[in-house]
Amino acid sequence: MKVLLIGSGGREHALYWKIKQSPLLTEIRVFPGNGGIPFTDLVQESLDLKNLTAVADYVRRESYDLVVVGPEDPLVDGIADALESICPVFGPSRGAAQLEGSKDYSKQFMQKYDIPTAASCTFTDFSAALKYIRSLEPPIVIKTDGLAAGKGVVVAPDLSAAEEGLRDRMERGIFGSAGQKVIIEEFMEGEETSIFALCDGTHAIPFMASQDHKRAFDGDQGPNTGGMGAYLPVPFVNADLMKQVQTEVLDRAMAGMRSEGHPYRGLLYAGLMVKGGRARVVEFNVRFGDPETQALLPLLADSVDLLDLLYKCAVGQLPANARLEFRPGASLVVVVAAEGYPGSYRKEIPLKNIDTAQSDIIFFHAGTRRTSDGSIFSTGGRILGVTALGDDLRAARLKVYETLEKIKTPGVFYRQDIGEKAL
């Protein structure tokens, strides 16, 4: 099978790493990729993902058997629709991708199909939104309607912070058009977890639950980021909770999408808040999460052929009894980021000591590039993720932080407390 993988982050490097293990794979090309992917496996011509006609021409010309779309932006723009007549695509249609592309659409969808979530109101007028905020008791949750690279949510601890968050979005326009419509919703107490599911339009097959760490600094302090680390298994997620998520979240979402005329094929990401043994949906995303994917895929059992499953999702042929098997133990990833992230940060930081032959330590590149002489430099805010496997979470965590101590790269930082709460 000849595969095109679209994306450049740590998530895509992890997908590349796992797909390469499939006996079905004959060739893989990645666009645009990063410094962790061999140059020979990168697409050698320039593609503009906004020009879907040109992308379709390229896919047709190169005779790909499957396109796997990593990031959300091309999906929301309709890349799956543009390619559907050429080859199967792992990723939802433009209509289905509204679940992430518009928080307002997603909230209305959840309410319509009785998917448990927080109460909310949507506003396009700043004055009306401000008046509503002043009627609430903090903490107050404000979300941009459109895509904001995982940074569009503010949980304001008081009215002053809520007003600033609202002004940032609707008056100052720091998120552009994505913030001109905002969703103000009930603050949900509890513990967060992420559950991903492979979907073929009818069935939704869940992965093991994981837990992301969104805030930049230790103790869940600082601004929201794209994610600074993740681990699994999650101690408070049991079989009863997984059953509730399957029946009340995943199955209802699949049935709802079919009713809306947008059968959901691809990866459905349910961000959940858990309290009292029950989950409510914080948000839906329409792609693998980053960095959770970098912890999840290494824990998949060797018997799981991910490429086979991605293809069956894309063509609507997942077996009804399909299950994902995981190896025993735990997995944990810590993200190394450039100082200043998620604000302004330095690029072109030289990176050393980030290659390993150990089977239980994996470096997943994100914002990196590799020069012709093999040197590696940073290109983004989140530079790489270090993943470790262990007999339990404590062992995996120890391996990660021992490895990070050896990197010693000036100009970068990482959280020291990933997985600490679980222990």
Whether residue 24 lies inside any domain: the answer is yes
Residue 215: its pLDDT value, please? 92
Q: For the domain that residue 136 is a member of, what is the CATH number? A: 3.30.1490.20
Same domain (yes/no): 90, 12: yes
Whether residue 358 lies inside any domain: the answer is no
Same domain (yes/no): 55, 12: yes
Same domain (yes/no): 80, 26: yes
Exposed, middle or buried by CB within 10 Å (0-12, 13-18, 19+), for 239?
Answer: exposed
> Among 129, 160, 185, which residue terminates a domain?
185
| Share of residues in the chain with pLDDT > 70 (%) | 99
The per-residue pLDDT for range 74-128, each reduced to its tens digit, is 999 999 999 999 999 999 999 999 999 999 999 999 999 999 999 888 988 888 8
What average pLDDT does range 289-294 have in this prediction?
A: 97
Pairwise pLDDT comparison (122 vs 68), residue with the higher score = 68
The answer to whether 56 and 83 are in contact (CB under 8 A) is yes
What average pLDDT does range 38-42 have in this prediction?
A: 96
Predicted confidence band at 52 (pLDDT cuts at 50, 70, 90)? Answer: very high
Residue 357: its pLDDT value, please? 57
Same domain (yes/no): 138, 79: no
What average pLDDT does range 298-315 have in this prediction?
A: 97
Whether residue 220 lies inside any domain: the answer is no
Structural domain that includes position 79: 2-96
Predicted confidence band at 276 (pLDDT cuts at 50, 70, 90)? Answer: very high
**What pTM did the predictor assign?**
0.93
Same domain (yes/no): 162, 124: yes
Same domain (yes/no): 159, 79: no
Whether residue 303 lies inside any domain: the answer is no
Same domain (yes/no): 13, 63: yes
Please give the mean pLDDT across all residues of the chain: 94
Whether residue 176 lies inside any domain: the answer is yes
Whether residue 108 lies inside any domain: the answer is no
Residue 356: its pLDDT value, please? 61
> Among 129, 162, 185, which residue terminates a domain?
185
> Among 96, 111, 136, which residue terminates a domain?
96
Residue 79: its pLDDT value, please? 98
Q: For the domain that residue 56 is a member of, what is the CATH number? A: 3.40.50.20
**3-state DSSP of the chain:** CEEEEEECCHHHHHHHHHHCCCCCCCEEEEEECCCCCCHHHECCCCCCCCCHHHHHHHHHHHCCCEEEECCHHHHHHCHHHHHCCCCCEECCCCCCCHHHHCHHHHHHHHHHCCCCECCEEEECCHHHHHHHHCCCCCCEEEEECCCCCCCCEEEECCHHHHHHHHHHHHCCCCCHHHHCCEEEECCCCCEEEEEEEEEECCCEEECCCEEECCEEEHHHEEEECCCCEEEECCCCCCHHHHHHHHHHHHHHHHHHHHHCCCCCEEEEEEEEEEECCEEEEEEEECCCCCCHHHHHHHHECCCCCHHHHHHHHHCCCCCCCCCCCECCCEEEEEEEEECCCCCCCCCCCEECCCCCCCCCEEEEECCEEECCCCCEEECCCEEEEEEEEECCHHHHHHHHHHHHHHHCCCCEECCCCCCCCCC
174-188, 235-249, 391-405: segment of lowest average pLDDT = 174-188
Q: Domain count of the chain?
A: 2
Whether residue 295 lies inside any domain: the answer is no
The per-residue pLDDT for range 325-371, each reduced to its tens digit, is 999 999 999 999 999 999 999 999 999 888 765 779 999 999 999 99
Predicted confidence band at 316 (pLDDT cuts at 50, 70, 90)? Answer: very high
What average pLDDT does range 253-263 have in this prediction?
A: 98
Residue 336: its pLDDT value, please? 97
What average pLDDT does range 304-311 have in this prediction?
A: 98
The per-residue pLDDT for range 122-179, each reduced to its tens digit, is 988 888 888 888 888 889 888 888 887 767 888 888 888 888 888 889 888 888 887 7
Residue 150: its pLDDT value, please? 66
Residue 194: its pLDDT value, please? 97
Residues sharing a CB contact under 8 Å with residue 237, sequence separation 6 or more, in sequence order: 193, 195, 209, 274
Same domain (yes/no): 91, 6: yes
Whether residue 160 lies inside any domain: the answer is yes
| Share of residues in the chain with pLDDT > 90 (%) | 78
